[in-house]
Structure 1
Amino acid sequence: MNNTRSLKRNLGIGLTLGVSILWLLSAIASGLVVQKEMKEAFDKALKRSTQHILPLITADIQKRALGVNNSHIPILQNNDKYLRYRVLDRHGHILLRSKDADPQLFNRSPLLGFSDTATHRVYTTTALNHRVFIEVAESLAYRDEDLKEAIVALLFPLLILAPISFLGILLIIRLSLRKVTDFQHAIEKRGAGDLSPVGTYRLPAEFSPIAIAVNRLLERLRRTLDAERSFTANSAHELRTPLATALAKVQRVKAVIDDVQLKQQISDVEASLHSLSKQSEKLLELAKAEGGGALSEQPHDLIPILAMIAGDFSRQTPDRLHLILPNRAVSSHLDPDAFAILVRNLIENALKHGQADQPIEVSLSHDGTLRVVNDGHLVPPQDMARLRNRFVRSNTTAAGSGLGLAIVDAIATGAGISLHLRSPATGRKRGFEAELNVKPSTNSMT
């Protein structure tokens, strides 16, 4: 499970949510203000409508005697579906009313000014010296509908602006952090052997200390590794001449001595010197492998190199090596010397630790997959994880320094190649297999 989170994504979502919440709070505050202002505007309009109706009604009432029989209540047509009105005398008798003026819409008794019923807003005024009362009712549903439309008009832009704001914020963040992204990619594209400083040009001030610290760490690591490689290479190189001299002298002494017991002791010394000389060569190979230079600028066909090395081992161990090559060239940017060291160590490892009476299979496919397979006992999983380390060997009695697979892993790492070690070998119940693709990835070559 990946627990890493993108800074750009978090900033984009956070800022968009923040802007959206602020917009929503502003819309709510504006809605409350709009509600108050709309209520005042509706009340003014209701009062104004009453004032417009009042002269017509009073004129009509004045034309009639107020004491006439009110058994017949004039009903007036009303074209405004939101307004209902009626006229009462001081005793509460209805003198006039609009066609749809249901008494349930009004208060039981006239209340001067504004008042509310369950469904309507009522404005009441008086005329003719308080002898008549005029009540005009407006539907609250009509007001709520207009209020909802106003609030929707405030919130609707949020639905459009939120994704636009998110994209805009992401764009601004991406432009602001593009140098940080370049810094990230510069580190990601580096091979394991590239410890040169990373460019920090125009990095944001918040990230400059990180870049400086990374470059300081790379510089310290480079110096440490250079010192280690230099010591390894110089030590191995300086040992070669004394070892060769000592070996030659031992061989001369061995040739002139007739004592069997002493000759056997000298042979043991000779074997030890041979082993020490071999280990010195391995240390030189390891220093070369860890020193970089695993890739070349121009591609090379690796088949002739593999065939030559396999031929050398076939002359030393006839009928032991089984070589499988493709029918066309396998071009690779892997350095020829590095490839030769890699193949030689894999074959040596297979010959030393494989079952002596079983063949070693070395194959290179046209897609660049190199496999070296030997028969033998299974390697325990706990040992498999450690075989790439220096001077680490599995439970074996075979001679060796424990540097072969460490050298192969160093070359593979420097070239950006994945080394796969398996036991049992693919398709078998036992044995050991080393597999890698000798065509380095594009990222490792940049």
Structure 2
Amino acid sequence: MKWVNPLKPASLHGRLRWLVIVVLAAVLLPLGVLSFKRTAREVGELSDGRLAQSARTLQVLIAQADLEALQRRDPDRVLVPIEAGLIGSPPRQRYTYESEVGFQVFEPGGRLALATANLAGMPPPQAGDADFQDVWLGTYRWRVFTLRDAASRVVIRTGERYDSRDEIMHAVWLEHSLPLLVGLPLLALLVGWAIRRGLRPLEALTRALSSREPGSHEPVLLRDAPLELQPVLAALNEQLTRLEDALERERRFSADVAHELRTPLASAMINLENAMASADPAEVDLALGSAQHVIGELARRVEQLLALARLEAGAASGQRMRVDLTAVATGVLEELAPVIAESGVELSVARLEPQLLVHGYEAALAALLRNLLENALRHVPAGGQVQLSIERGEHAALIDVIDDGPGIPAERRASVFARFRRESGSRGDGYGLGLSIVQRAAQLHGAAIELLDSPYGSGLRVHVAIPLPH
């Protein structure tokens, strides 16, 4: 059978309840034991003091009453009777401790002169006996105190049966243990109620999360949330926002892929079917060439979609680091060298800072530069020019890509960052995804991006300012 630790229950409520009960028991039980021992010691000292006081009272009374006169009235022994019928009486009858206390008085010669009936048979004290001692008489144990009168040489002994003390100790034990025996279960119930009430904000949070609509961007709110729960709510809302954004990116990416790949695939399939159906070699070559061109465009479009998906993920798994923007630009220029040569466009570098460090993601910065140059090359007709400039500003790294193409009217510049937005006059894809990638990369770096008029008189100037690290 597997043992289950009650301190590790499945519910937080049960765990807190048991922990509180165990802590209270660990504190209250030792305190109760210590208090009981201290009270027992004080009761014993008080009872011993009462015996000593009784002996000294007898000493005064005997001195005043004249012990010899008492002896003349009863030459053998003066016995103080004890009402024996009281011993063992039913509990509901009047009870007295008379049978449980007594005294003895010994004359100078050691002869018993005066005693209560219940202590008459106790042997006289010896010379070396202590003031307080325990003496057995029959089946009872007595606590006795011996007082020796130096003037009269009379010895007075008072005694108390331990029955009386035991009854007092039982009462003390009940007084100390009953609150614990009754209080701990009651305390457990009250603690359970208090914990349930204290955990109501968690129950409210559970209900809020259960009733939350899938895809909702509304934050989870709790009225009068405790201070300890507010950081949890803030972190939870942040995580939910990130999750919803990630899901939204996935949904958008799936829609983008379906939208962008459907037409090229259909075009490639048609061209291939035409090539297979035609017997004319010229038509076959033309159809295969068209299919090859479409598949090439398709590959490029897939690459752009993947780049956009990576950027929209916000480089969540990567750490921002210092990146040499000049080195990134040099790599992009080398990568695009075949495209530049094929386009027939003159690409010049007006300024390239020797070393320009920014804080960010190398892949995102490369995608930003690559798409800016590709978009400019596609828009500029053969024989046109594109100029790249990268320099250090006062607080930012400044990137300028300038062309002398047809440009974009000022009223439409804000809308070209939308996905799949294409301007007329572009070659190939135009502004389908390129500027969306540029905008997302700029957002990841807290950069500002502007579309301005080209200094060539026609065309476009794209200006990007990336904050420099402090």
TM-score by length of 2: 0.47
Query: Larger RCO: Structure 1 or Structure 2 (Cα < 8 Å, ≥ 6 residues apart)?
Result: 1
Larger radius of gyration: 2
